Structure 1
């Protein structure tokens, strides 16, 4: 069988994280040359060792995603080295508040995910887009959450940032389509095995789990998150990574400006 991403060059911001690392491993397995960037070199090195051990091609770079000049410089370096950027994923995490109601929420807590996630998405998308498209199809993948559509208390900043990421992806798809660049947003729910893989969600969900007298893993496995889905389970890192590889491939070439719902049925679009 042919590899999904043979001869593709992929940049993953947040490539040392749980989702970013899982996607990087699958992209490399499917033939892509992977460039992973992030703040923590040790995490990037761990992912790179796994990829190299399987015979994949990977390069790492310590990059501050909020430093626009630094991100631009990295994208230019990748394009010069590889000849193009064909795929990009922003998997950067921003620790934020979930569970605090409006009366007790500060404006800083509200704005932290809105400014953090959208600023990172804007900076990385702008940096890679100028090196994509034309004769080689380009794909920008983004990540959102069910909070984009949920009506529930205590997730004001989270919900607004998630809805903003989906709106950003939709509008960017319209803008970049004439340049042969697709934009697809992936919307997983809380990821069942992400905390064990070092995800920031271990700290994010800790207060809610403690309030329910559970560990974070118990809350994910046996609590209301899984039972609130149609499948009665949460998505896994493998499912997200495998879906991302398909969406980034030419086999999904007619998909753009849309959201791939990986919430296990927490939302039914």
Structure 2
């Protein structure tokens, strides 16, 4: 098992991406601490994974609140003794399909603020623990607007770019302490909740938007959740021990400007 007994914290574990990541980490033997805002949904996922023999703890945490994050990670260390992997996958509450010139400033700034505040708080708190043990992996997730200009993505595109820049700077600081920092860049997954809901809603506009995403990739398809999760397992494992300060392109070959 690639992650046997690695103490892993997943924020936003209730979402479709977070759930896929948690299941993949569990399959590779990680000891999981699942965090989110919805106790009932966390409990369901935890029960599923415990039924497979995994060690799983849950915690209701607001990942944008520094006091909550710090207190939560102290509980993790008290229970498991260390933190080996941290992955923040909370939603950014972004508004899209509105022209920037017509967008309310709060709708533009919200995803940038949520992304940077939560990613900074959770990564910095994990880093402080990991420095004491001299090892660890911090993972981030972004999307294609971090590397290519798109119309109608609002503040989501700048937020993705900011997260990738932050991850590189963090990697430069933490490398001497034996801590690796890696970003996974996705193109959106057709089996994730947001795309499943859009497809279920139907309509020519939805299909046209999906076609544009697919046609913008070299493989002419979008990455599945399982592919994102498999890459996350690899990035967190010792098989990626020479990788840090990098963004893994999981977009099925989305073209760049």
In the superposition, the TM-score normalised over structure 1's length comes to 0.89
Tell me whether 87-96 or 134-143 shows the greater mean CA deviation. Answer: 134-143
Provide the residue aligned with 2:15 in structure 1: 17
> Structure 1 CA distance, aligned partners of 2:184 and 2:215?
21
> Structure 2 CA distance, aligned partners of 1:102 and 1:252?
39
- Aligned residue for 1:259, secondary structure, equals strand
Residues 72-110 of structure 1 show CA distances to partners (whole Å, capped at 9, x for unaligned) of 001011011111000000101122111211221111111
Provide the residue aligned with 2:55 in structure 1: 57
- Aligned residue for 1:97, secondary structure, equals coil
Provide the residue aligned with 2:212 in structure 1: 224
Provide the residue aligned with 2:234 in structure 1: 246
> Structure 1 CA distance, aligned partners of 2:48 and 2:134?
28
> Structure 1 CA distance, aligned partners of 2:109 and 2:202?
24
**Cα distance, 1:133 vs. partner?**
4.0
- Aligned residue for 1:100, secondary structure, equals coil
User: Which of 101, 107, 110 is matched with 1:109 structurally?
Assistant: 107
Provide the residue aligned with 1:126 in structure 2: 124
Contact 1:186 1:259 in 2 (8 A): yes
> Structure 2 CA distance, aligned partners of 1:172 and 1:225?
31
Runs of 4+ in 1 over 2 A off after TM superposition: 133-137, 212-215
Residues 203-247 of structure 1 show CA distances to partners (whole Å, capped at 9, x for unaligned) of 7x68x975x4447xx854xx2212221111111111111110110
Contact 1:148 1:159 in 2 (8 A): yes
The alignment covers a number of residue pairs equal to 256
> Structure 1 CA distance, aligned partners of 2:20 and 2:213?
22
* Structure 2 segments unaligned to the other structure (5+ residues): none
Contact 1:86 1:133 in 2 (8 A): no
User: Which of 183, 188, 191 is matched with 2:189 structurally?
Assistant: 191
> Structure 1 CA distance, aligned partners of 2:116 and 2:196?
22
* Structure 1 segments unaligned to the other structure (5+ residues): none
In the superposition, the TM-score normalised over structure 2's length comes to 0.93
User: Which of 241, 245, 248 is matched with 1:257 structurally?
Assistant: 245
Contact 1:145 1:189 in 2 (8 A): yes
**Cα distance, 1:177 vs. partner?**
0.8
User: Which of 42, 45, 52 is matched with 1:44 structurally?
Assistant: 42
Taking a change above 3 Å as real, the CA distance of residues 77 and 160 of structure 1, as seen in their structure-2 partners, is same
**Cα distance, 1:137 vs. partner?**
2.2
